[in-house]
Structure 1
Amino acid sequence: MQFHHRAVPIALSAVLIDAIGFGIVMPVLPRLIVELSGATLADAARIGGYMLVAYAVTLFFAGPVLGTLGDSIGRRRVMLFSMLAFSIDYGLMAVAPTIGWLFVGRLIAGITGASFGPANAILADVTPPEKRGATFGLMGAAFGMGFIIGPAMGGLLAELGPRAPFIAAAILSGLNAIWILVALPETLAPENRRPFAWRNAHVFAAFKPIFHAGNAKWLLLAAFLWQFAHMVYPATWAFFGEIALGWDERAIGLSLAASGVTMALVQTLVMGRAVKRFGEAKTVVFGIIAGGSVFIGYIFARELWMIGILIVLGAFQALVWPSINALLSRMTDPSHQGALQGGMASLNSLALILAPLLLTQSLAYGSERGFTGGNFLVAAILAFAALVIVLLKVVPKVER
């Protein structure tokens, strides 16, 4: 594949490794938590939720800081720092002697995971405005590919022990850091830099733009509820697989990879056709119905063939988020498009912080009482609440 600037593949590889790093630990995390803490699987699910919250909170605050720092000292240094820290983080988690060290590792991962912002800035620096849409599409593809590779790699490497995936991630991050050091040019010209100021890195200011979204407020609420519900997969799937289905790490990793592949196929082959025929609003409705129905299915399904069917049907929930983004863009006046995207990023971060607390606790509480589908019950309730909002407040307005 030909790239218009040599910085592009390096930035894409950083995002790819970020996503692999997030996904690679999912299959092995339950066993590693149990090994280090001596907890039951139900309690391990709770601990895993707290770890994901630690990651998300750090990411929430680190994003604006690293972005502002990149505007001051340049993108290259920030990217190099992120990748080196990623390598150190995974090496630390590979040898972690206690559960506390795992939390330290997740905190470091939250800081380094904020490299998405600098990576996007690199692409913006080197890409003409009229071509940025296609280039940013490559960023989304890199993240999606990482979330397919990561869980599959984690599941396969788990056969060598629960720490093997962390060692592999540390090596990958270290090699990428060397590539950045040797090959990545600085893309921010000196005349475009600005002094670093903490007031420019204030995360709570990101919520203000949401209130400028006007008619989009109901769709924003539905988007938040959907994102909250959809977090049931990264927050609880590995624990659900062991507790409810009796799966090992290999099965968990392969199931996550299969889910990623089917969703990618839907986005590639179905997304455009669905929007063209039904419009964005109805495509959101179809996607939420598919996702919510699959959540209900997971409450009861315990046979492998049932899970396979649900993974295929669940792929159609990939229709939701791109359609919501397109609708929000159309419902918001041109002067607030950038502000809206900033607010959406903050809402997503907030969902990433809150969802693991509720969803992992629901799984743990239910499993201790013989009901192993509590996480998906909560997700289904949230998804269908989002559906009601879209049907009553969004579709009528769009179809006037």
Structure 2
Amino acid sequence: MQRASSGGVDYSPVRPLSLLFLTLFNSILGLSILFPILGPLARELGLSELQVGLFSTGYALMQFLLSPYWGRKSETAGRKPILLVGILGFSVSFFLFALFAWLGYQKALSEPTLFTLLLLSRLLGGAFSSATLPTAQAYLADITPRENRAQNFAVLGAAFGLGIIFGPAIGAGLAQFGLLTPVVFSAGLALLNAAFVGWVLPESRRSEAHLEATPGLSWRDPRVLPLLAAGLSINLASVAMEQTVAFLFQDRLGLSPAQTAQAVGLALVVFGVVGVLVQGVWVRMVRWSPRALILLGLPLSLLGYLGLVFAHNFAGLTAALVLLGLGTMASPGLSAAQSLAVSDREQGAIAGLSSAAQALGRMLGPTLGTGLYGLSPAYPYVFSALLISLAMLFFLSQPRLAR
């Protein structure tokens, strides 16, 4: 078994990798539990759809602004302390959200005050949760030999996918006991996750490494700018699809709202399961280079988006989502390529910039996707296909990139 020496650590990556998988899975699970209840909860509190949208936009904005800071901070303070800060901050923000919503139920707050406090709690959650993903990515780079980066980054993708699959189902089940129950559960789960990290997860960097100055790394650095742009394109394409696919199913298939929820829910579960299997099993089994994963994953994604443009039945639409699930193999390839483009002492910095690029995609995607859908149901997927095509052309024109 190979042993990692990046960042001065010399131990088998198997156990820390498993622990990191559980850490990230718990974090994503706690967030995705809220997906099915935010809309109904907001309506019960008298908030508008626009205000609910601002909760998500504000959350992503804070992640965009602060992910680079937390990534750099993990280089000097250590990975484990920053992970704990992110998870505990997430927990506090969700407890506050539940408290303010409860006060709203009690009519103890005016509608403007209630919205302001709820928005502030979401901004706080975005600010602290932005520490989790870049630090987890940098931690993984610390414990993984450079030649194995793509395979182990796929594990993080699988953790993310599993959290997205199980979280909404758990949230919907807990909502039977009240719409605030999933919020409190998420906050409590984060506390347990923090205890798990504090007691079980080892630090991945030597103590003397904490004293080293963090090298400067900016968006404009030619080593990473093209890879960050590619990551933004892939994420923006995916978010635009996710925000509009329910409308597409309803309009193309002529379904009622209840039928739409069932059809889209089933298709997205298939999409999620395929993505988890591809990243958690197939990528680790074939052990391809980052470039090979990218150059197979992007064409599969392109076919998936084109499938959404032309499909007019449930089987065709679901098959397109399966292709998109297969195309997720490009994500660990791109993450590994970003990690390999910089030195071992810049892993936190590149992870922070990568997370910021993803957050920017989550900020822009909903508006672009729904705006284009209003012009034509096919336009969001044409837009996504164009983004993927540009990313493909870029990698094909750079034969030495992501080797």
The answer to whether the superposition gives a TM-score over 0.5 is yes
Residue from 316, 321, 325 that aligns with 1:315: 325
The alignment status of 1:110 with 2:126, answered yes or no, reads yes
- Superimposed CA distance per residue, residues 73-120 of structure 1 (whole angstroms, 9 cap, x where no aligned partner): 443333322222222222233342334344223222212322123334
In the TM superposition, residue 280 of structure 1 has moved relative to its aligned partner by: 5.5
Contact 1:50 1:357 in 2 (8 A): no
Matched residue, 1:228: 236
Cα distance in 2, alignment partners of residues 263 and 235 from structure 1: 18
Cα distance in 1, alignment partners of residues 387 and 321 from structure 2: 22
The alignment status of 1:70 with 2:81, answered yes or no, reads no
> How many residues were matched structurally?
368
Shift of the 18–362 alpha-carbon distance from structure 1 to 2, 3 Å rule, reads farther
Shift of the 64–189 alpha-carbon distance from structure 1 to 2, 3 Å rule, reads same
Residue from 366, 370, 373 that aligns with 1:356: 366
Matched residue, 2:303: 290
The alignment status of 1:347 with 2:357, answered yes or no, reads yes
State the SS of the aligned residue for 2:36: coil
AA in 2 matched with 1:17: N
The alignment status of 1:29 with 2:41, answered yes or no, reads no
The alignment status of 1:151 with 2:168, answered yes or no, reads yes
Cα distance in 2, alignment partners of residues 90 and 292 from structure 1: 35
- CA RMSD in angstroms, aligned pairs only: 4.4
The alignment status of 1:60 with 2:64, answered yes or no, reads yes
Residue from 204, 208, 214 that aligns with 2:220: 208
State the SS of the aligned residue for 1:206: coil
Contact 1:283 1:323 in 2 (8 A): no
Shift of the 145–177 alpha-carbon distance from structure 1 to 2, 3 Å rule, reads same
State the SS of the aligned residue for 1:231: helix
In the TM superposition, residue 261 of structure 1 has moved relative to its aligned partner by: 0.3
State the SS of the aligned residue for 1:383: helix
The alignment status of 1:50 with 2:58, answered yes or no, reads no
Counting only pairs closer than 5 Å after superposition, residues 6-21 of structure 1 correspond to structure 2 as 8-21=17-30
Cα distance in 1, alignment partners of residues 60 and 75 from structure 2: 23
Cα distance in 1, alignment partners of residues 210 and 257 from structure 2: 54
State the SS of the aligned residue for 2:211: coil
- Superimposed CA distance per residue, residues 198-255 of structure 1 (whole angstroms, 9 cap, x where no aligned partner): xx698xx52112x346xx95x8655533321111255456787899861499846655
Cα distance in 1, alignment partners of residues 90 and 351 from structure 2: 27
- Superimposed CA distance per residue, residues 264-302 of structure 1 (whole angstroms, 9 cap, x where no aligned partner): 2344448987979x956752453233231243257x66x
- Superimposed CA distance per residue, residues 21-76 of structure 1 (whole angstroms, 9 cap, x where no aligned partner): 3322222222223333353xxxx2x4444322211221122223323433444433
Cα distance in 1, alignment partners of residues 322 and 37 from structure 2: 24
Cα distance in 2, alignment partners of residues 270 and 149 from structure 1: 22
Contact 1:280 1:326 in 2 (8 A): no
Cα distance in 1, alignment partners of residues 144 and 229 from structure 2: 33
AA in 2 matched with 1:65: Y
Cα distance in 1, alignment partners of residues 149 and 331 from structure 2: 20
Matched residue, 1:173: 190
The runs of 5 or more residues in structure 2 that have no matched partner are: 1-11, 105-113
The runs of 5 or more residues in structure 1 that have no matched partner are: none
In the TM superposition, residue 260 of structure 1 has moved relative to its aligned partner by: 0.8
AA in 1 matched with 2:195: I
Cα distance in 1, alignment partners of residues 350 and 86 from structure 2: 27
Shift of the 236–154 alpha-carbon distance from structure 1 to 2, 3 Å rule, reads farther
Cα distance in 1, alignment partners of residues 132 and 301 from structure 2: 30
Counting only pairs closer than 5 Å after superposition, residues 126-145 of structure 1 correspond to structure 2 as 134-145=151-162
In the TM superposition, residue 146 of structure 1 has moved relative to its aligned partner by: 1.6
Shift of the 139–328 alpha-carbon distance from structure 1 to 2, 3 Å rule, reads closer
Shift of the 73–233 alpha-carbon distance from structure 1 to 2, 3 Å rule, reads same
Residue from 379, 382, 387 that aligns with 1:380: 382
Matched residue, 2:269: 257
Contact 2:37 2:175 in 1 (8 A): yes
